A and B are shown apart, each in its own frame.
Chain A
Amino acid sequence: MDRIKETTHDDLWILLEKAKDGDRDAFKTVVRLYQQKVFQMAYSFLRNREDALDIVQETFMRLYQKFDTVDTEGNFQVWLLQIAKNLSIDYYRKHYSRRREMEVEKSVDELDPASGAAASPGLNSDLRQAFSRCLDKLGERQRLVFVMKHYNGLHYKEIAEILDISIGTVKSLHFKAVQNMKKLLSPQLGMQP
């Protein structure tokens, strides 16, 4: 993904223009540059490898169909991740909501709180499961902000652009997400809620 940083804004638009004109290699280069970013976004939200790969494919198909609507002055990564985010949300609502709700209902409390207080919590498998379930308990926007910040490595400004909200709202959502995670994980982390 470092290649993205090496690719300048002008280089990218040249690639996109070529791809739009039917240059297969140019389109492939764009896909290779951004596919992992898109996958990270989809996977951190859905946490299913195959579903996330489907989202990656669908995102680039949308790009291919909507070359004309790409804003040449704007941030292409933000534009692309907006599509991935929307597709992920739609997919989640369609296929996951009820299933995750059922999983979450039996989740955190059934795990062994003592195991979470172990010396290396980050490596603990129960903690991983607990964290995963706690993440699902967050509201949709809090979860999106949290995964974009911690797993996609995006800045508040980029998250604000992708979600089309203000930076202040992103900060607030992030703070609430961490607060809620802290409460939910307090047994595993050996803390007072």
Chain B
Amino acid sequence: MAAFQSGELEGREREQVIRHIEQCAACRAELELFQRTLQSADALKPEFDKVMASIDWDEMSEKIVASAWDKRKRPRTLPEREKFWLFSPKLKPVVAGLLLGILVGAVAAWFVFRGRTSENGGVASLFASKEFLDRVDLEIARRETLDYLEKSQAVLLEFAQSSAADGKFRLNEAVAAKARELLSKKKFLNLQLEKAQMAKAKDICDQIELLFYELAAVSEGLTEAERQEIQNLIEDRSLLLKIRLLKKELQKSEV
């Protein structure tokens, strides 16, 4: 009905509606109401025409063009902005997304690593387990002890094979130097043996150390009696035998 009244129907459609209206009183009445409603819409048309007539359209068009050209003359800020393309409005969502991604990644990484650290009990355990470090300590102690025993054995054998000349026993200077060197090494070895909990090895090394103290104290010259006393000490304690056995044991227990 509205389409018919507004002239939107053409040809066959329009003819059909006209034929129907001629025969149908109800639709005719409805159409009349539509016509009166749309005619009332014309009540506003004089007002529209009056307003349209009140406008100087040439002046209006000039004003619009002048305004557009005025904006055109002004230095545009866009090229300046293009230099900082990363901060251009188009890329703002991308930049925001990137920053958000970095932030989320950082937070996630912090949670993951913090969790692992607390599980393993410290930053150091990030790189090696406690068990591994214990084994390293044990191996170092074993090698150092073996070295100490080798050198001590050599010194003791040299001492055992030495003999007195012109009634006065003279300790070979090289043996005395080695004994002093081994004494200082023993101080360092003590820490490692304690750390590696090698009590048996420490006990033997202590005995050797005591002997070296004796040797160092009498380095200027020994009487035969003194030499014999030290020799007895070595034999009584079966130091050379203990050294050999300990060496064997340590060589077997190589990590």
Contact = CB atoms under 8 A, between A and B. Distances in A.
Interface of A: 22, 24, 27-28, 31-32, 35-36, 39-40, 43-44, 49, 53, 56-57, 60-61, 64, 121-124, 127-128, 131-132, 135, 146, 149-151, 155-156, 171, 174-175, 177-178, 181-182, 185, 188-189, 191
Interface residues of B, number: 38
B44 interface: yes
A32 B33 contact: no
Given A40-B52, A43-B48, A127 B67 contact: no
Question: What's the dominant secondary structure at chain B's contact region?
Answer: helix
Question: What's the dominant secondary structure at chain A's contact region?
Answer: helix
Closest 10 CB pairs of A and B: A128-B43, A64-B68, A31-B61, A175-B2, A182-B37, A178-B2, A28-B65, A32-B61, A60-B64, A174-B2
Interface of B: 1-3, 5-6, 8, 33-34, 36-48, 51-52, 54-55, 57-58, 60-65, 67-69, 71-72
B38 to A, nearest CB: 7
A122 B36 CA distance: 9
B67 A39 contact: no
Contacts of B8: 155-156, 171
Interface centre among B33, B41, B42, B67 (most CB of A within 10 A): B41
B6 A57 contact: no
Contacts of B41: 131, 146, 150-151, 181
B64 A35 contact: yes
Given A124-B43, A151-B48, A191 B36 contact: yes
Given A31-B61, A53-B60, A64-B68, A44 B48 contact: yes
B62 A185 contact: no
Nearest to B39: A122
A92 B17 CA distance: 38
